[in-house]
Amino acid sequence: MKKSKTTSLFKIISITALILGIINVICNYNTTPKSKYNKDTTEIAGIITNCTKTDYNYQITIKGRENTIINYSKEFKCKLGIKIKATGTLEKPNTNTIFNGFSYQKYLLSKKINYIFKSDKIKIVNQNTNILYKLKNNLQNRINTYKSKNYLNTFILGNSKNIEEEIINSYQINGISHLLAISGMHITLLSSLILLILNKINKNKKLNYIIVIILLLFYMFLTNFSPSVVRATLMFIILTIKNSLNIKINTLYVLFLICGLYLIYNPYMIYHIGFLFSFIITFYLILFSNLINKYKNYLTKTFIISFIAFLASLPIQINNFFSINILSPLINILFVPLVSFIIYPFSLLALIIKPLDIILFNLITLMENLSIILTNININIILKHINIIFIIIYYLIITYTLYQLNKNKLKGLIILIIVLIIHTNINYIEKDPTLTMIDVGQGDCLLIKLDHNKGNILIDTGGQINFNNKKPYDIAKNKIIPYLKSEGIKKLDYLILTHGDFDHAGMAINLIKNFKINNILLNHKNNNLEKQIIAKAIKHKIKYKNINEATLKIKDIKLNFLSSQKSSSENDDSLIIYTKIGKQNILLMGDAGEEREKHILNTYNLKYVDILKVGHHGSKTSTSPELIKKTRPKISLISAGKNNLYGHPHRQTLKKLKNSKILITQKDGSVKINLNTGAILTIAR
């Protein structure tokens, strides 16, 4: 009777904790917690809990009045556990300025970090570290002497930042990147291994379990309390206590309790993709454990586990990567045992027996090469970003699919396949064309997406100039391509490059290498960058054409390219486009200056325009009073980087445009306009 009451009480506590956690998430969604620091704070202090060296600086995480990341560009001997004092300025982390994009700010909130501190001076206050940090420092120093240190850091310390970007990309494409995260599988393997050794030495099983729990708690500390490690460790502890007391508690309620407590402690964990993967996949694996246990054959069971994990992660994959690899469950059959039973255990052994490092390194090289080969045979489908209603619908269908499979029926799977087919072709249903000014910093990039998938046109690509010999930020890979995919766009019918300046065409080559493009249009005069773009287009068998005055007809719309005079200025050679799409008259001015504007006004009888893409990022050399008087734009779009060196947009230009709705990327982020209704959607910074 007592056990029954204990079970019922545990259920009530678990469900209550989960409900309170969900309420906490809802109440704090899209809010920012109050910081203990004043925005004018110039000095902070704390204990170093993490340290990463990049190509440009040190990223030092400290635990002080609150968790803070310090960016420090000078040389610094970073040691975990020491107390430091830093002087500098607080900055808000970057948020997403691209629709459906990754928000670094929200990710840091999941780690209870409100600010990044840009420091010019760091002083060590106390060199002494506690025993835990001494052990972690010694372990880190040992790992750094290994040839396979990148993967030892991954599997032992939960840090995969130093694995090559190409390799990480291949893991993501193949749907096996979850194997790099320390998960329940790793914790089970580790705890089983420790218990096996302890049981050989000592017959006191209770004491052995206590030792394992202490070691797992230390492991949580080593991995900086990674959500998957915390979940797996707490589940092990609670289930161990449950078994020792012989209490019947469904494992799902244990998961509910841990998830609820996590969200009560930090509601912003909802922004942590590792948290979402860990808890949602575990939930489905527990819920459909009967389906898994039906099969005794190891390969079949591995496939079923991989298939359930694949379905459970589907909405998360869609909204973070905007594509899925249909072959992922099959690929996992190969990689799960390779990592679980060979590479991960070998990592633990190599940490103790260093000569095994060379064997581990060769195994890792084999895994990496295999992953790269498999990326060439993937079946990747692009899926548009979905809102919360469709996420719920997806999970209802996924649950129904697995429920039907548990009854040996395929009805649910057929429904899911139909939904995926509809989803991947959703753009054929959309009736409104749109224009998006994509925030690419100091540059231009516009996407015209026609109704019913009639065509997708990208005008310019942006391209940040390489200052201070830093590795240039890949706008194509990190912003443009993810946004195209999030819109369900599989290919560009046209890439139009208005002129050859780097801030307009700098990412064209990267875009060509990583996305399907049918046609490229350039202006009549090609500089060195444009010649490189043409060479890359030829290599990838993409049609290209130099144009001056022309009309491009795409289904039922016309893009009119307004002619230019011969000019020594790259800006004045910009392609200028006038068009009507939906119910909006649109004029896109490239980087043309006032002389080119005068030529256009004298040559063409321009009517009023609804949308004007302001020339040359709103500089004072463009957007003459005559142009404004003639076109009377209702909406003026200006693409200019935050705190840019040129002072764009100029206050005189803004004054001239005061009678229109002015939208600037440095203030509004990306801007999306419905070309039928004129409705405007922005991402405010």
Work out the pLDDT band at 392, boundaries 50, 70, 90.
Answer: very high
pLDDT at 167: 93
**pLDDT tens digits, one per residue of 177-236:** 888 888 777 888 888 888 888 988 888 888 999 999 999 999 999 998 999 899 999 999
Is residue 461 within 8 A of residue 504, CB to CB? The reply is: yes
* Helix (H), strand (E) at residue 91: strand 83-91
* CATH code at 428-682: 3.60.15.10
pLDDT at 542 over 80: yes
Q: How far apart are alpha carbons 315 and 457 in whole angstroms? A: 28
pLDDT at 19: 97
pLDDT at 183: 79
Q: What is the pLDDT averaged over residues 647-657?
A: 93
Q: How far apart are alpha carbons 446 and 444 in whole angstroms? A: 7
392: tokens are 């719920």
pTM: 0.92
pLDDT at 162: 85
Phi and psi of 154, rounded to 5°?
A: -70, -55
Burial 311-343 (b: 16+ CB within 10 A, else e): bbbbbebbbbbbbbbebbbbbbbbbbebbbeeb
Work out the pLDDT band at 89, boundaries 50, 70, 90.
Answer: very high
Q: Which of 28-32, 139-143, 557-561 has the weakest average pLDDT?
A: 28-32
**pLDDT tens digits, one per residue of 197-213:** 898 888 888 899 999 99
Considering only CA atoms, which of 589, 611, 591 is closest in space to residue 601?
Answer: 589
pLDDT at 258: 96
Q: What is the pLDDT averaged over residues 352-367?
A: 94
pLDDT at 468 over 60: no
Query: Which residue is associated with the tokens 């819109």?
Result: 487
> Hey, which bits of 550-603 come out as E strands?
550-554, 557-562, 576-581, 584-588
373's CB contacts (< 8 A; 6+ apart) are: none
Q: How far apart are alpha carbons 400 and 411 in whole angstroms? A: 9
pLDDT at 247: 81
pLDDT at 561 over 50: yes
Q: CA distances (Å), 88 to each of 68, 77, 79, in order?
A: 13, 19, 20
First to last CA, the chain: 58
pLDDT at 651 over 80: yes
Rounded to a whole number of angstroms, the CA Rg of the chain reads: 28
Q: CA distances (Å), 279 to each of 239, 254, 258, 310, in order?
A: 16, 11, 9, 14
* Helix (H), strand (E) at residue 661: strand 661-664
Q: How far apart are alpha carbons 437 and 669 in whole angstroms? A: 9
Domain 43-129 classification at class level: mainly beta
The share of the chain scoring above pLDDT 90, in percent, equals 72
pLDDT at 123 over 90: yes
Considering only CA atoms, which of 584, 558, 551 is closest in space to residue 432?
Answer: 584
25's CB contacts (< 8 A; 6+ apart) are: 263, 267, 270
pLDDT at 431 over 90: yes
pLDDT at 2 over 60: no
Report the amino acid identity of residue 514.
N
Considering only CA atoms, which of 425, 419, 423, 429 is closest in space to residue 396?
Answer: 419
Q: What mean pLDDT, rounded, does the chain reach?
A: 91
pLDDT at 94 over 90: no
Task: Show the 3-state SS of 463-520.
Answer: CCCCCCCCCCCCHHHHHHHHHHHHCCCCEEEEEECCCCCHHHHCCHHHHHHHCEEEEE
The share of the chain scoring above pLDDT 70, in percent, equals 98
pLDDT at 1: 46
Q: CA distances (Å), 436 to each of 439, 659, 667, in order?
A: 9, 22, 15
Work out the pLDDT band at 501, boundaries 50, 70, 90.
Answer: very high
Considering only CA atoms, which of 606, 582, 556, 576 is closest in space to residue 679?
Answer: 582
pLDDT at 10 over 60: yes
Cα-to-chain-centroid distance, residue 551 = 38
Total residues belonging to the chain: 685
Q: What is the pLDDT averaged over residues 562-567?
A: 76
Considering only CA atoms, which of 322, 557, 323, 354 is closest in space to residue 454?
Answer: 557
pLDDT at 508 over 60: yes
Q: How far apart are alpha carbons 277 and 345 in whole angstroms? A: 23
Q: Where are the domains of the chain?
A: 43-129, 149-385, 428-682
Q: Which of 280-289, 322-331, 556-565 has the weakest average pLDDT?
A: 556-565
447's CB contacts (< 8 A; 6+ apart) are: 434, 435, 436, 438, 456, 457, 458, 459, 483, 484, 487
Task: Show the 3-state SS of 601-633.
Answer: HHHCCCCCCCEEECHHHHCCCCCCHHHHHHHCC
Burial label for 114, CB within 10 Å (0-12, 13-18, 19+), is buried
